[in-house]
Structure 1
Amino acid sequence: MNRRTTILPAESITRIISMPLEEHRAVLRKYSWLPDVLRIDGSVIPHILGPVLTVTIFAVGIAAVDRHTDLDIRLSNNVVPLLSVVVGLILVFRNGTSYDRYYEGRKDFATLTSQTRNIARLIWINVAPPPPTTADSSQPSAKVQRKVTKLKIRALRLLIAFPRSVVHHLRKENGSDSQEETRILTEQLRDRARIDTYRKHSRAGTGASGYGTVSELTSPVRGKETPSRSNSSECTATGANGVNQETPLLVDVERQEEVEIHISDHPLIPNMPLTIAHELTRMIWKFKRAGMLDTVGPAGTTAMMVSVQTMVDMLTAMERVSNTPIPASYGIHLKQCVTLYLFALPFTMVKDMGYGMIPIVTVVAFTLMGIEGIANQIEMPFGKDMDDLPLEKYCDEMQRDIEYVMDYLPQGDEEDGFMRDMPQEDDDDAVTF
């Protein structure tokens, strides 16, 4: 795609700051009680309506049996207080645990947002054309400046793609063809994201570039044939063909003819966030090698690397929340306790209230089941439900912020007033390191 963006000159940074706020900025709504009381959309009512109606019908049946038959189905009021304390404690712990997961997910994504903005600012300002190699050239040419600008734009586009790829990764939406962030990735990254085959062979180093299959390799320690995966379990720790405590960890590399690399036979599922983080690290390393970070020195390079590392740390933290479910036994026992409590409630109230206990039982069931339903809704904050975190909104906000940096804010070597012609996107020769 060919696109040339011309930035209008800004007289000063004050003009940029005084620009009107965008309409997408959220405005706090007025506090109101009654609309939320009467609201069904977004509440937990649709999720618990069936169980609440079941308890209500059961209460109607108990009241009818007590009124129209001679069966003695009444229980003492001492039963309810015994169960109330236990059910209340379990519900409080359940709701608190779910909200902790929800808050942890939001906090991790906020840290990811902060680090993405920081590294975008550092790249846009600190990366500069390399120092001149000759005394005659004191300033970089316009062509060199355009090359550096396009490299920085490519890096910032990777930063835009990273949080979106994290969202798809947390939702198990693997595959780049359906992901929006692949529109701004390079062809090399797109090819990496399409890996969906099994690794059929292992690499083996013979000198600098030798390759071979697992069956062709020999043990570098004993010179014996390396056992295959099917019969490797027959080799014990002290067997003739196995590795024992006396096997050296390091061998003479020059005398070693072949080295086996153990690669699993499982399919290679691409991890787009890690792929983008890998490419970002490579770009920072290339910036350093090309002398584009000489103005900030090792400290500036380290700051960028630390930001990428923190982004990966936040990815891992959100994976921990996503991949650690609430124990099934806990959820099952909670539902069983609440159900027993609600089914025991009509037997204790029918003696004094008769049919009048039906709405009371319905309200109690709505309250207790609603608390458990809310906990169930928020325990996985990375989905697409209304109660989940608005991750798409956060990603759009981040994209607007980074695009604003590219469109309106000067680079490190530019003045407040500037006009920049973006390089052609299909000019591959202009972006080589």
Structure 2
Amino acid sequence: MKKKDSWFNIALRWKGSVVPEVLPRSLLCGLFGIVIYVLHLLHIRVSLPILSSLIPNIVLGLLLVFRTNTAYERFWEGRKAWGTLVNTVRNLSRQILVSISEQHPQEHYAKIAAVKLLPAFAIALKLHLRSQSINDELAANLSSEQFNRLKTMNHPPLEIAFWINSYLQEQAHQNKLDLYQLSGMIQLLHQMVDVIGICERILRTPIPLAYSIHLKQLLMIYSLSLPFQMVDQLEWMTGPIVALISFTLLGIEEIGIQIEDPFGHDPNDLPLDAICNTMQRNIEDLIAISFDANHLVIEENMP
């Protein structure tokens, strides 16, 4: 079991946080606050407390409610889609291994090859969502012919789904699957293809550009207006306090930016590599169990 980090370890962690992206902008806002304080020392009228009621409600409302909620909804929908894929792969692989009988070694190898297409589907989907080319991650689950063919395809996950469907139809044609078994397996395959559509919808539907631009403009105006609101009361503390408030607001925006596309390589994206590895191990375990069960049946039938 993974050891849970302490509260302080999480709070002080640099890797995986948005501090590297937000800190330069926050320090810039703090530096602007220092400039305003210097002007205040020179008896130049820069204190404008009326600005305190100008933007805060608008900025905080748009930022904390819409931005974070929308981004997290996309992140969570992506996680649910991949959770569905994990469960579907387990169910379909189990049904193929249990339901389809084998009379010859070639049929056993064909069935194992078909089951290995299931984690290959997940890996291909991961690469597709990340706009990566087919690589050696798939080699262990595919024949050399299949591997080379996928390199030429525009949508590798759909091609793998087609291969799985063809195998199931062939088994039904050979009377190794009845209509109900075939229908159930095809339905599970449909669910896997539906996951592609869900993930592509998340990936291809970014937050509207006009909203992103407007939000950044409001954040900039708000952050740069802070020194004018505070310099009369805080004086030399204006710079540090402005940097701290700006860090808070800009950090929340950056978190939303990172999780709105949950399929990439950022520390806060979904752990797709780990999910695919889990599916791979699950399939290997099921294949091993099926192999042991078949050998036990053979031994019991021996004279």
TM-score category of the 2 structures, normalised to the smaller one: over 0.9
SS at match of 1:52: helix
The within-5 A match list for 1:381-420 is 381-409=262-290
Query: Which of 20, 31, 43 does residue 46 from structure 1 map onto?
Result: 20
The within-5 A match list for 1:287-306 is 287-293=171-177, 297-306=178-187
Which residue type is aligned with residue 277 of structure 2? Answer: D
Question: Do the aligned residues in 2 keep the contact of 1:127 with 1:287 (CA within 8 Å)?
Answer: yes
Query: Which of 373, 376, 380 does residue 261 from structure 2 map onto?
Result: 380
SS at match of 2:217: helix
Q: Distance in 2 between matches of 1:165 and 1:91?
A: 35
Question: Do the aligned residues in 2 keep the contact of 1:126 with 1:412 (CA within 8 Å)?
Answer: no
What's 1:134 paired with? none
Q: Distance in 2 between matches of 1:331 and 1:401?
A: 41
Q: Distance in 1 between matches of 2:251 and 2:141?
A: 43
How far did 1:186 drift?
2.6
The within-5 A match list for 1:215-364 is 269-293=153-177, 297-364=178-245
How far did 1:187 drift?
3.8
| Structure 2 unaligned blocks of 5 or more | none
Question: Do the aligned residues in 1 keep the contact of 2:29 with 2:246 (CA within 8 Å)?
Answer: yes
Which residue type is aligned with residue 361 of structure 1? Answer: V
Q: Distance in 2 between matches of 1:126 and 1:107?
A: 28
Q: Distance in 2 between matches of 1:149 and 1:57?
A: 70
Which residue type is aligned with residue 97 of structure 2? Answer: W
What's 1:88 paired with? 60
How far did 1:73 drift?
1.6
The within-5 A match list for 1:91-102 is 91-92=63-64, 93-102=66-75
Q: Distance in 2 between matches of 1:34 and 1:27?
A: 17
Question: Do the aligned residues in 2 keep the contact of 1:80 with 1:341 (CA within 8 Å)?
Answer: no
Q: Over residues 373-413 of structure 1, what are the superposed CA-to-partner deviations in whole Å (9 max), with x where a residue is unaligned?
A: 11111111100111111111011111101100111246887
Q: Distance in 2 between matches of 1:166 and 1:418?
A: 40
Matched, 1:75 2:48: yes
Q: Distance in 1 between matches of 2:235 and 2:33?
A: 10
What's 1:233 paired with? none
What's 1:168 paired with? 127
Q: Over residues 77-97 of structure 1, what are the superposed CA-to-partner deviations in whole Å (9 max), with x where a residue is unaligned?
A: x32233111111111210111
Moved more, 355-364 or 393-402: 355-364
Q: Distance in 1 between matches of 2:239 and 2:297?
A: 72
**Structure 1 residues 418, 354: CA separation in 2 closer, same or farther (over 3 Å shift)?**
farther
- Percent identity, aligned pairs only? 33
Which residue type is aligned with residue 160 of structure 1? Answer: P
How far did 1:192 drift?
2.6
What's 1:110 paired with? 83
What's 1:56 paired with? 30
How far did 1:100 drift?
0.5
TM-score (norm 1): 0.66
Question: Do the aligned residues in 1 keep the contact of 2:129 with 2:263 (CA within 8 Å)?
Answer: yes
Q: Distance in 2 between matches of 1:371 and 1:151?
A: 51
TM-score (norm 2): 0.93
Q: Distance in 1 between matches of 2:107 and 2:140?
A: 21
Detail structure 1 runs of 4+ shifted over 4 Å in the superposition. 410-419
| Structure 1 unaligned blocks of 5 or more | 1-25, 130-143, 196-268, 420-433
